[in-house]
Amino acid sequence: MKLVILDRDGTINADSDEYIKSPEEWQPLPGALEAIARLNHAGWHVVVASNQSGLGRGLFDVGSLNAMHAKMHKLLSAHGGRIDAIFYCPHSPDEGCNCRKPLPGLFEQIADRFGVDLKGVPVVGDSLRDVQAGAVVGCEPHLVLSGKGAEFRGRPLPDTFPAGTRVHEDLAAFADYLATRPAAPRAAA
């Protein structure tokens, strides 16, 4: 199974320091949905792993989150794309859970659900914690410079990033990269 794990806010849709709290506030980044569709057409299954502490902070409820995701699925399907599943951490930072990135709980849930080893699976996010969480379970780390990632534009990544983290302008550039690089051994497995 060719699997890619994506962060949501700042990677697929525009992020906000005020949190994304409603379907109206959920707005795709330019080219992001098309990028997911391109990945799908190249045989990649796409799964989302997202911190949604706004739930734990009481800023929105699960109904609103589901409505955001219904919008995401609908807009994506109009581009011929599909997200197989969305895994999210609903907790606030003080709840001490194991699923809030940079902890690896969401990734362990994904491995369990799909019955796959995540070693070498590309993970894409706009924050250090996204790639750190993936690196714990052996994912291949990719940083996009959309969203919070903009702070890393034009300078070397800090040493806190996992070794080998690749940098892309946005999700579209990541999709181009994945489509054009030679197939790795795991992709042939």
Say if CB 36 and CB 77 are below 8 A apart.
no
Residue 104 within binding range of Mg ion, rule CB under 5 A: no
Residue 10 within binding range of Mg ion, rule CB under 5 A: yes
Residue 9 is a catalytic residue: yes
- Report the distance separating Cα 45 and Cα 41, nearest Å: 9
Residues 121 to 160 in contact with Mg ion, rule: CB under 5 A: 126-127
- The interface partner of residue 89, options being Zn ion, Mg ion, none and the CB cut-off 5 to 8 Å by kind, is Zn ion
Token pair of 133 as six digits: 């969480």
Residue 97 within binding range of Zn ion, rule CB under 5 A: yes
Residue 99 within binding range of Zn ion, rule CB under 5 A: yes
Give whichever of 12 and 121 is closer to Mg ion, judged by the CB atom. Answer: 12
To the nearest whole angstrom, how small is the minimum distance from the Cβ of residue 32 to Mg ion?
12
3-state secondary structure 66-129: HHHHHHHHHHHHHCCCCCCEEEEECCCHHHCCCCCCCCCHHHHHHHHHHCCCCCCCEEEECCHH
To the nearest whole angstrom, how small is the minimum distance from the Cβ of residue 1 to Mg ion?
24
Cβ-proximal residue to Mg ion, closest one: 10
